[in-house]
Amino acid sequence: MSFAFNIASAAKVHHADIVAFGFDKKLSKAFIELSEIIYKSDRLRIQPLKSSILQQLDETNPWYQRGEACHFLLPGAGRISAFHTADSAIGYVGFFECIENFGVAERLLASAVGWLHGRGSKIVRGPINFDTWHSYRFVTKGSEFPPFFLEPYHPPYYPTFWERYGFAASARYCSHQHDDMSQIVAALEPHYQKALRSAFTFRPLDLGRWSEELRLYHELSCEIFRANWGYTPLGFSEFARLYAASRPLLDTGMSWFAQDRAGHYVGFIFGLPDHSRAIRAMRGASGPVGAMRFLGARRKPTSAILKTLGVLPAARGSNVGFALGYLFHRQLLEQGYQQAIHALMLDDNASRRMSFTKGGRMMREYAVFDLTL
């Protein structure tokens, strides 16, 4: 991992003015392009689509109907955003990027924290872009290895800078890797058979009904994860905006829904191939240029990502979660995938316990940090 910083310019940027803004297309573009300084020589980074970040910062983003944000840019050195909703005492900070200079990080954090304090926030939490439906978390262990698709990625000094400022980890996560699909399929099949005997049924994601499937994902997600740490309500328009573009990346055999004997949906698993190679090659471009780069670099992935697994409270303990896991890993075994990545699991939750008991090995650790004001 390599990050660029011109030491000769350190004193200059340390005393430069931080620019604060809300909706400004020119400044938003500069805000996005700041990351090019940080990752100039880095070949591992999977660059987010610039058009996607522009949409998130634009006033047409539905999130701004329930909250306000302020973005802070120190040209040539760093950036950060602060997010506030009137019904919460917790303010979020995200989109953090910074050269390897704690003085710069301190100024950026102080700007965001001060803005949130002025709006009544009692706790500042991050890194979180808007809320936990969006990108969040810092990598705290394993940052020397290439990232998989949809995983946080940043210089390893970011968490250190935040802790030095006064933040402390408030939630921890991990990702596991499995290299033997036959082993995990064999371990989960008895649970699948028990679920079938209990009259649960399972159907794969139907990409031909993508709009309807998105609405089902939204309804189930809001109900299943309502009691989770960091949960905030999310309207369907925001949810659809986040996931609508993911359709071309999906394989129907990796994502499944579960129904009870009455036909009610009680859970789902959402997985996808790890297209990190092809998306890395896009270098943040979208449209025809991005598509051409993606197709030019696309190869059959050797890894697949189990992104989300959820079961309604009433159906927990009934083998449904294990059965969904079986269907996901069975598809990987049949298609010849070499690895399964159980991604971004909160410590001490059911998904992590399932991953541990079926031979998963730790590949990365993450954390979200809090600062009490």
How high is the pLDDT of residue 127?
A: 98
Contacts of 260 by beta carbon, 8 Å cutoff, 6+ apart: 199, 200, 266, 315
- Asked if 176 and 369 touch (Cβ cutoff 8 Å), the reply is no
- Of the residues 147, 173, 199, which one is the last residue of a structural domain? 173
H/E segment holding residue 297: helix 287-297
Residues of the chain with pLDDT under 70: 1-15, 348-359
Cα Rg, the chain, nearest whole Å? 21
Instruction: Give the per-residue pLDDT at 9.
Output: 42
Predicted confidence (pLDDT) per residue in 79-131, tens digit: 999 999 998 999 999 999 999 999 999 999 999 999 999 999 999 999 999 99
The conformational region for residue 344 under phi > 0 = left, psi -120 to 50 = alpha, else beta, is left
Query: Is residue 359, in this structure, part of any structural domain at all?
Result: no
The answer to whether 155 and 3 are in contact (CB under 8 A) is yes
pLDDT of residue 355: 59
User: What is the pLDDT at residue 287?
Assistant: 86
Instruction: Please name which of 210, 188, 155 lies closest in space to residue 306, comparing C-alpha atoms.
Output: 188
Let me know the angle formed at the C-alpha of 279 by 327 and 254, rounded to the nearest 5 degrees: 5
The DSSP secondary-structure symbol of 136 reads B
Distance CA 357, CA 369 (A): 28
| 186, 154: one domain | no
In a domain, 235, yes or no: yes
For residue 177, how far is the Cα from the chain centroid? 17
Place of tokens 């316990």: 353
Tokens of 100: 């390897």
Give the whole-angstrom CA distance, residue 58 versus residue 352.
36
CA distance 329 to 181: 6
Q: What is the pLDDT of residue 8?
A: 39
Residue 66 CB neighbours (<10 A): 16
Q: Are residues 18 and 163 in the same domain?
A: yes
Asked if 363 and 144 count as a contact pair (C-beta separation under 8 A), the reply is no
pLDDT of residue 1: 46
299 lies in the same domain as 225: yes
Residue 230 pLDDT: 87
The token pair at 159 is: 């968490």
| Cβ 310 vs Cβ 221: under 8 Å | yes
Q: What span, in angstroms and rounded, lies between the C-alpha atoms of 320 and 205? A: 16
| 136 and 77, same domain (yes or no) | yes
162 lies in some domain: yes
d(C-alpha 200, C-alpha 323), whole Å: 10
168-178 and 201-204 strand pairing: unpaired
pTM of the model as a whole:
0.90
- My answer on whether 149 and 67 are in the same domain is yes
How much is the pLDDT for 7?
Answer: 37
Residue 328: which of 216, 253, 266, 251 has the closest Cα? 253
Q: What is the CATH number of the domain that holds 323?
A: 3.40.630.30
Same domain, 84 and 168: yes
Same domain, 138 and 223: no
pLDDT at 296: 86
Name the domain count of the chain: 2
Domain membership flag for residue 293 = yes
- Give me the domain span that covers residue 240: 180-337
Check if the beta carbon of residue 108 is closer than 8 Å to that of residue 18.
Answer: yes
Helix 210-224 to helix 236-243 angle (10° resolution) is 120
131 shares a domain with 114: yes
Q: How far from the centroid of its chain's Cα atoms is residue 21's Cα?
A: 25
Is 112 in the same domain as 251? no
Asked if 290 and 141 sit in the same domain, the reply is no
CB 72 within 8 A of CB 20: yes
Q: How confident is the model over 130-155, as pLDDT tens digits? A: 999 999 999 999 988 889 999 999 99
| Cα separation, 288 vs 112, whole angstroms | 36
Residue of 319, 136, 138 whose CA lies nearest to 229: 136
Q: What is the DSSP letter of 130?
A: S
Q: Cα 92–98–99 angle (5° rounding)?
A: 165
User: What sign does the dihedral 233-238-244-249 (CA atoms) show?
Assistant: negative
Question: How many other CB atoms are there within 10 angstroms of residue 198's CB atom?
Answer: 14
